[in-house]
Chain A
Amino acid sequence: METFLRTWLEWPAVAAFITRYTWAWPLGETFHFFGIILLIGGVGLFDLRLLGVARGLPVAAVRRLLPWGVTGFIICVVTGFMFVTGVRANVPSSPYDVIRSNPWLQLKFLFIALAGLNLLTFYVTGMDRAVDKLGPGEDAPALAKVIAAASLFFWLGVIYFGRLIPEAL
């Protein structure tokens, strides 16, 4: 398993590309930030509405922003994948060793997984259908509020642990 992961995670072409083109890493960083902005603008606003912010917005309309949030997440995943697989361009370690040894990166992955599970709970419990009917000024059910608060907490955690990753490189 270790050999498989060690081989699979190592993308020499990505590391070589980052080394050859000095703009590649800062380009990835810039788009990682654009992704975070879209994620908080889309998913974050949906969570905030369920928590009672901008209550004049009907939830079904706010849901229209979710594709923007998902786009932001995809941008973050693609650029994050570039940072991990091409890490050898910046530090003399393999991606596998970095993942194994960096607690902040592990926590970031854990929080992304928890955010995913939280989203699954939102759909499995039927909260997605329940909140869709909420018009202007209407309050979300308590469970939907708990899920929204957890979602914000997990995504802010993902950003926080992402910022700590260089501490353990």
Chain B
Amino acid sequence: MWEFLDSIENSGFATYVRDTPSVLGYSTVLAFHTFGMAFLVGLSSVIALRVLGAVPQLPLKPLKGLQPLIAVGFWVNAITGLILTSLAIHSLLRNWDFYVKLGAIALAIVALQKMRRHAFADTNAPDDAAASPRARFWAGAMLLFWGVAVLGGRLTAYATNIRIETARAVLVAVVLLLLVARYLVRRANRTIMEVRV
């Protein structure tokens, strides 16, 4: 098994991407991995924000049109992720944080599919209709899993104690930011309701 993984890590392609002095090697693959993440997580998060009621003015049904771009983001991420894994397959497979990241991505994809199914189920719902509680649950779960996946991806290069300290710091910062965001969204929505009245 390890011999097979060795042959992947030492293949001509992996060696070129890892060792070439050209910027078109490792850094460009990493940049495309970031593009994929930005489109996959960014656009699916827009649907989640609408489902959760953070942007109620956005009609839900047309957001279905984002699905092809979300799929492109996923496949760019998956392909570049496989390439990046092949460059350091030994160390990554012995890194527990790598499994946390992969697990979080898998759960986020499941949550995305469930959110889509529940959010777009009622084709006759008016544009400004609130999403179902189930759709809201899966939207929240998806955002949580994407957050863990991004954090896990960032922390693969760090030692275990730094990972744990950083995870705690991120948790505290996210909770504080969410409280501020919740206050701002509620205030903005209240202002819109007052203007309508």
Contact = CB atoms under 8 A, between A and B. Distances in A.
A150 interface: no
B129 interface: no
A44 B64 CA distance: 16
Contacts of B121: none
Contacts of A54: 62-66
B57 interface: yes
A133 to B, nearest CB: 16
B-side interface mostly: helix
A167 B166 contact: no
Contacts of B88: none
B173 A31 contact: yes
A3 interface: no
B45 to A, nearest CB: 5
Contact of A164 (B27, B39, B153): B27
Contact of A61 (B31, B57, B64, B161): B57
B141 interface: no
A26 B39 CA distance: 22
A44 B72 CA distance: 15
B65 A55 contact: yes
B128 to A, nearest CB: 10
B66 A45 contact: yes
B42 interface: yes
Contacts of B18: none
Interface string B49-73: 1000001011101111110010000
Nearest to B155: A26
Interface in A42-69: 42, 44-45, 48, 53-58, 61-62, 64-65, 68
B78 interface: no
A37 B38 contact: yes
Interface string B133-169: 0000000000000110011011100100111011011
Interface residue tally on B, bucketed by range? 35 or more
Given A30-B166, A31-B173, A45 B59 contact: no
A136 B169 CA distance: 43
A62 B57 CA distance: 8
A38 B57 CA distance: 18
B170 interface: yes
Contacts of B61: 56
Contacts of B153: 33
B58 A163 contact: no
Contact of B150 (A23, A34, A163): A34
Contacts of A166: 27
6 contacts: A26-B163, A27-B166, A34-B147, A48-B69, A54-B63, A136-B62
Given A26-B162, A44-B38, A54-B63, 6 more contacts: A26-B155, A33-B154, A37-B150, A40-B42, A56-B59, A57-B65
Interface of A: 21-24, 26-27, 29-31, 33-34, 36-42, 44-45, 48, 53-58, 61-62, 64-65, 68, 136, 156, 159-160, 163-164, 166-167
Interface of B: 23, 27-28, 30-31, 34-35, 37-39, 41-43, 45-46, 49, 55, 57-59, 61-66, 69, 146-147, 150-151, 153-155, 158, 161-163, 165-166, 168-170, 173
Top 3 A-B residue pairs of the complex, sorted by shortest distance between their CB atoms: A56-B62, A54-B65, A41-B42
